[in-house]
Amino acid sequence: MKFFSLNKSLLAEQVFNGINHGENDNQLKIDIFSDGEILPVYKESIRDHHLFIMADGHSSENIMKLLLTIDGAKRSGAKKITVIYPYAPYSRQDKNDHVRSSIGAKLMADMLQTAGATRLITIEMHAPAIQGFYNIPVIHLNGNRIFTDYAKSLKLENVTICSPDHGALKRNTDFARLFPDSLFAVIDKKRTKPNEIASMDITGGEFIPGRNVVSVDDMGDTLGTLSKAAGLVMSKGAASFRAFLTHPVLSGKALEVLYNSQITELIVSDTIVSVYEKQKLYNSMLEAEATELYNLGRSDYDSILEEVKAKRPKLTIVSCSNLLVKSIDRLINKQSINELNIA
């Protein structure tokens, strides 16, 4: 087998080092012409090999880069082409919600298969039914498994699991197994349009006061809804509010929203590798606040910074590399992968 990553990242490095079965990916060269045209070239024979091609990033350019790389592998005689796509793009477009709109998830499935992919490994699709768009095997990994060890390490007591909406009930009831004595609540919300909530309330609000509230969702985009949920939960008397998000899209002013929110801790995965850069930006916001206080005459910058970190939400990244490595190893060794999705 051979492993190739289309974007150099810490996640790709961790996955490659964890596999210990393949060769490195320095034999793939991707040329970009001055007009933006992309040309992937394999610098060695890949005939009859099983290729693992890891892609991250959901921009149009990255999608095109992946499709051309798969096509190049198919035309070069690769025996199998497994695409590792931790965050499958356009998975929010799983049905025709609007008159005369696209179904992006179906189009992505068609393009990957037409290009030549023979298998897909992905984590926590927005709608599990998207697997039905594919006529190739799809290894759909449960995003909750990424956070199992970290959640246990928190050693939280008096936990209430609060589903952010009714669509996330299964995901949250699954996560509740990590806290056997936890109670359960659900946020009821009415949405007027994407990224905008008209009203919000809690079913099971009596299980909130004085408790550590944990909420789990598949992705976080602008964080506007999550911020409102945190404010509502804390207004009910919660001791803390932690949110676990598999896919940290964090677009627009998401970091500013997080900075000013009542979220105690936001725990995310690195399925979208740009999250490491966003964590640096968020930390710089905390440092800027500490510097401003220091310039006002307070001494001991380090203690000021610790105070700022204590009062602002914490942003924690838990890598999904371990889950990906386990799934790849089981695939190579022809072992069951379903066990990875069992709590």
Judge if 124 and 221 occupy the same domain. Answer: no
Judge if 29 and 80 occupy the same domain. Answer: yes
- Residue 29 in any domain: the answer is yes
Q: pLDDT by residue (tens digit) across 24-40? A: 556 899 999 999 999 99
Residue bearing tokens 């179904």: 103
* Segments of 240-286 assigned E as strands: 240-248, 265-269
Query: Coil, strand or helix: which one is 165?
Result: coil
Which residue pairs, CB below 8 angstroms and at least 24 apart, start in 148-152? 148/178, 148/343, 150/267, 150/316, 150/318, 151/175, 151/178, 151/179, 151/214, 151/244, 152/178
Angle at 67 between CA 21 and CA 325, to 5 degrees: 25
Query: Coil, strand or helix: which one is 120?
Result: strand
Judge if 36 and 160 occupy the same domain. Answer: no
Judge if 266 and 293 occupy the same domain. Answer: yes
Judge if 21 and 63 occupy the same domain. Answer: yes
- What pLDDT, on the 0 to 100 scale, is given for residue 275? 96
**CA dihedral of 299, 302, 304, 309, whole degrees rounded to 10:** 180
Q: Which tops the pLDDT comparison, 64 or 21?
A: 64
319 burial (CB, 10 Å; 0-12 / 13-18 / 19+) is middle
Judge if 194 and 182 occupy the same domain. Answer: yes
Q: pLDDT by residue (tens digit) across 48-80? A: 999 999 998 778 999 999 999 999 999 999 999
Q: pLDDT by residue (tens digit) across 77-128? A: 999 999 999 999 899 999 887 778 899 999 999 999 999 999 999 999 988 8
User: What does the alpha-carbon distance between residue 120 and residue 105 come to, in Å, rounded to a whole number?
Assistant: 13
The stretch 133-156 carries a mean pLDDT of 96
Q: pLDDT by residue (tens digit) across 238-288? A: 999 999 999 999 999 999 999 999 999 999 999 999 999 999 999 999 999
In eight-state DSSP terms, residue 27 is T
Which of 2, 189, 228, 278 is the catalytic position?
Answer: 189
Judge if 217 and 306 occupy the same domain. Answer: yes
Clarify whether 190 is annotated catalytic. Answer: no
Judge if 119 and 157 occupy the same domain. Answer: no
Q: pLDDT by residue (tens digit) across 192-219? A: 665 566 678 999 989 999 999 999 999 9
- Residue 241 in any domain: the answer is yes
- What pLDDT, on the 0 to 100 scale, is given for residue 337? 85
Judge if 135 and 153 occupy the same domain. Answer: no
Half-sphere exposure of 339 (CA within 13 A, CB side): 8
Q: Which domain holds residue 30?
A: 2-141
Other Cβ atoms less than 10 A from the Cβ of 99: the count is 5
Judge if 157 and 278 occupy the same domain. Answer: yes
The CATH number linked to 9 is 3.40.50.2020
User: Any bridge partners for residue 219, and if so which?
Assistant: 247
Judge if 119 and 176 occupy the same domain. Answer: no
Residue 234: what are its φ and ψ, rounded to 5°?
Answer: -65, -30
The stretch 174-187 carries a mean pLDDT of 95
Q: 7: pLDDT confidence band, cut at 50, 70 and 90?
A: confident
pLDDT at 330 over 70: yes
Judge if 62 and 191 occupy the same domain. Answer: no
Structurally, how many domains does the chain consist of?
A: 2
pLDDT at 22 over 80: no
Q: 338: pLDDT confidence band, cut at 50, 70 and 90?
A: confident
User: What does the alpha-carbon distance between residue 204 and residue 201 come to, in Å, rounded to a whole number?
Assistant: 10
- What pLDDT, on the 0 to 100 scale, is given for residue 137? 95
Buried b / exposed e along 190-220 (16+ C-beta atoms within 10 A) = eeeeeeebeebebeebebbeebbbbbbbbbb
Amino acid identity of 309?
K
